[in-house]
Amino acid sequence: MWQNQLGKLFTSDLISSEKDFQKAKQFLIEKIDFLIQHNFPELVQILYKMDISENKLKSLLNESPEINPSLIIANQLIARQIEKNKNFEYYTQQFSQKNSDEEKW
């Protein structure tokens, strides 16, 4: 559920300006803060489902202890979702190109 919501939240259609992006990011940070305080196992599950590298996240958290951990986690979730969106667009384009080429025959 979180993964779908995150995907919808950070699509180019919904985020039309830097201000919108920052609002969405702040919303995400607040949700992560809540999960850290009240339901850490769910946060771990979300990170696993979103395929966030545990080693990379630990390293980032250790390197910057002065930065809010929720901000670091949010940045990783957003970066991963953007990467997934780009991959989806790329492979969708490749698939439609392949189908177009096959129709020519």
Nearest 10 degrees: Cα torsion 61, 62, 68, 74: -10
Higher pLDDT among residues 23 and 69, named by residue: 69
Domain of residue 79, residue span: 2-9+19-97
CB-based burial label for 74 (10 Å; 0-12, 13-18, 19+): buried
**This prediction's pTM:** 0.77
Q: What are phi and psi of 50, to 5 degrees?
A: -85, 0
Residue 103 lies in a domain: no
- Residues 32 and 55: their CA atoms lie apart, in Å, by 19
CB-based burial label for 46 (10 Å; 0-12, 13-18, 19+): buried
pLDDT 10s digits, 2-54: 556 666 666 655 566 788 888 889 999 999 999 999 999 999 999 999 999 99
pLDDT-based confidence at residue 101 (cuts at 50, 70, 90): low
CB atoms inside a 10 Å sphere around CB 96: 10
Residue 38 lies in a domain: yes
Residue 41 lies in a domain: yes
Residue 105 lies in a domain: no
Q: What is the pLDDT of residue 38?
A: 97
Angle at CA of residue 78, ends 55 and 80, nearest 5°: 55
Residue 74 lies in a domain: yes
Q: Based on the structure, what is the number of domains in the chain?
A: 1
Residue 29 lies in a domain: yes
Residue 30 lies in a domain: yes
